[in-house]
Amino acid sequence: MGVVSWWFNGGDSDAVIVFLGDSSKALVPGQFTYFFVAGVLGLLAGFQSDFVDKTFGLDEKESEDVVTSQQGALLVKLDQGIKFPEPSCHTKGKLYANFDDVSGKVVVKCGGTISSLTEKNLLVLSEIGLSAKFVKLEGSAMLASSYVADGSVQKCYVGKGSGRIKVVGSEGKPALHSKVEEGDLFIVPQFYALGEIANDCGLEVFSVTTSSKPVFGHLAGNTSIVVICKPGISS
């Protein structure tokens, strides 16, 4: 709350942005409440010109342009010749991070990569209580079943490729077993385990966890609890 942002795609390809947030205090719970500054849905459009005049120190013609020149609502196609400022380098590391730059990336030959972003990499995450993970599986690769031991919830978005996911709850009961593809979004409730298998084309999943320093547990693999159990126990 209290933050203004704008997004601009200056390239030739499409950009996909996934917004996640708490809407419990929204005007309509479950939906985002937007406050637009400009455009047909902008707050300034609801004020008479004399209010805009005095607010910004403009004359009548200038205030009219401020209120009516932008006829777009949410997504706006810019006119030719309009330029936006270049990104500010000094903000990197404060509110922005690139998964390609994240230290501690896990790389498995012929398997894929796992990149994690926590408060250790991006301090601002500690203030909002979130972390992120980017899993890139190569064709027919699998991510060992895991769960968040601290009771956090995972929100997962399939950014590329396709595959199968399985979510299992308490008492070993399956909660979700589904094919997923680019653009799908699914939720892993607290204390539920998640397994992912990529199709031949591979699978990329971006997930947000409701903890700035989540504790993951794995049901199989070199980091699982099964490895440290004695043979008689694990068998």
| Span 104-136, pLDDT tens digits | 789 999 999 999 999 988 888 999 899 999 999
Q: What does pTM read for this prediction?
A: 0.82
Model confidence at 235, pLDDT cuts 50, 70, 90, reads low
What residue ranges do the domains of the chain occupy?
104-229
Domain range 104-229, CATH class: mainly beta
Predicted confidence (pLDDT) per residue in 39-64, tens digit: 888 888 888 878 889 998 999 889 88
- Say yes or no to pLDDT of 195 above 90: yes
Q: What is the mean pLDDT of residues 211-220?
A: 89
53 versus 162: the higher-pLDDT residue is: 162
Selection from 104, 119, 158 nearest residue 135 by Cα: 158
- 173 CB neighbour count, 10 Å cutoff: 8
Helix axes 60-68 and 49-56, enclosed angle (nearest 10): 110
CA angle 230-166-173, nearest 5°?
70
Check whether 21 has a pLDDT greater than 70: yes
